[in-house]
């Protein structure tokens, strides 16, 4: 499949004024059409293939406007598993938190625990962030031993996007097992940002 049907659906919806604000929010790293998520998904409904189309994803990733990478992520969220090396290329190409976070679930669905352990120690911070977030929202199905190992491997990095991701992963899992998260925080030295994010849903200890 080519990108033509998707471009034909989205480009007429372009809002230059809105695009300026969207680009500014992403620190002017990417061009935008100015199409929001709701409008984007409505316009592309029925246009994305049901099975994984790597050529389409690569072509969308190469287009200048950021919304096309978001469409690619929409496709990957519902497609079957994909090769880990290829997903890593997407994570490390035109990288920022928006696409990396959207890729975390497809990464988690496709990659083995061994691959995630390796990603958690990768030189690329976005690869590490994807590993940290790959079990997000798994709730009771979370592999807590793997989660703890990946989190511990990234403590003390001093990287904002890593410290934030650590806190997000802990905060999300605290909805399922707050005692586990509290124990992790009690036994590890974590950045103030991580602790603040992780503690949002935790009740203060008794007697505090």
Q: In this predicted model, what pLDDT tens digit does every residue of 120-139 receive, in sequence order?
A: 999 999 999 999 999 999 99
Q: How far apart are CA 77 and CA 103, in angstroms?
A: 8
- CA atoms in the 13 A half-sphere facing the CB of 108: 24
Kindly report, residue by residue over 10-37, the tens digit of the pLDDT. Answer: 999 999 999 999 999 999 999 999 999 9
Architecture (CATH level 2) of domain 87-207: Alpha Horseshoe (1.25)
- Tell me the pTM: 0.94
* Rounded Cα gap, residues 41 and 148, in angstroms: 35
- The domains of the chain are located at 1-80, 87-207
**Longest CA–CA separation in the chain, Å:** 62
Query: What's the CA gap between 67 and 207, in Å, rounded?
Result: 49
Backbone angles phi, psi at 31, to 5 degrees: -80, 150
Q: What does the buried/exposed string (b/e) look like for 29-50 if buried means 16 or more CB atoms within 10 Å of the residue's CB? A: ebebbbbeeebbeebbeeebee
Fold match, 1-80 / 87-207? no
pLDDT bin (cut points 50, 70, 90) of residue 206 is low
pLDDT at 208 over 60: no
How many secondary structure helices (H) and strands (E) does the chain include?
13, 0
Q: Given 3.30.1600.10, 3.40.980.10, 1.20.1660.10, 3.40.50.300, which CATH number is that of 1-80?
A: 1.20.1660.10
> How far is 114 from 127, CA to CA, in rounded Å?
14
State pLDDT tens for residues 38-86: 999 999 999 999 899 999 999 999 999 999 999 999 999 988 889 999 9
């Amino acid at each position: 499949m080519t990108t033509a049907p998707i471009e034909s659906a989205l480009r007429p919806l372009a809002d230059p004024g809105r695009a300026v604000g969207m680009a500014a929010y992403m620190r002017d790293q990417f061009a935008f059409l100015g199409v929001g998520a709701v409008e984007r998904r409505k316009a592309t409904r029925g246009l994305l293939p049901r099975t994984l189309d790597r050529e389409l994803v690569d072509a969308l990733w190469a287009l200048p406007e950021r919304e096309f990478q978001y469409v690619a992520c929409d496709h990957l969220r519902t497609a079957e598993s994909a090769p880990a090396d290829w997903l890593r290329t997407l994570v490390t190409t035109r990288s920022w938190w928006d696409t990396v976070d959207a890729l975390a679930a497809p990464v988690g669905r496709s990659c083995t625990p061994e691959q995630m352990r390796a990603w958690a120690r990768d030189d690329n911070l976005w690869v590490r962030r994807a590993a940290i977030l790959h079990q997000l929202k798994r709730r009771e199905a979370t592999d807590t031993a793997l989660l703890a190992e990946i989190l511990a491997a990234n403590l003390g990095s001093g990287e904002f996007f890593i410290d934030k991701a650590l806190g997000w992963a802990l905060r999300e899992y605290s909805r399922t097992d707050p005692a586990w998260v509290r124990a992790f925080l009690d036994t590890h030295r974590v950045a103030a940002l991580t602790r603040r994010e992780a503690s949002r849903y935790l009740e203060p200890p008794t007697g505090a």
